[in-house]
Amino acid sequence: MGVLRASGSTRLSLTVAGASPQPRDEVLEAVREAAAGEFTVLGEIGRKPDGTIAYLARDIASKRLAVPSAARRSAGGGGSAPSAV
């Protein structure tokens, strides 16, 4: 897995198990589409019990990291909508 060096940094090598393609994440795709032009969404970093999903993203203009989230709408709205945290 990782090798700890005297410098304190870690080298990590990851290998892909199997040749099956990743399942399509429609919510991630929708968040990427909604954030296009403003953020580059890198991927999901966590989920809350209420269904809110947090993503790691990079602000295109400032190059800073951000954590946008997608929360479920109320029962009448249906679906998910991106929201800022």
The pLDDT mean for the chain works out to: 76
More confident position, 76 or 60: 60
Q: What is the pTM of this model?
A: 0.58
More confident position, 73 or 84: 73
Q: Tell me how far CA of residue 40 lies from CA of 11, 49, 62, 64, 67, in angstroms.
A: 25, 25, 12, 10, 11
pLDDT surpasses 80 at 41:
yes
pLDDT value for 71: 84
Cβ neighbours of 21 (radius 10 Å):
6
More confident position, 24 or 78: 24
* Domain locations in the chain as residue ranges: 25-83
Contact call for residues 69 and 83 (beta carbons, < 8 A): yes
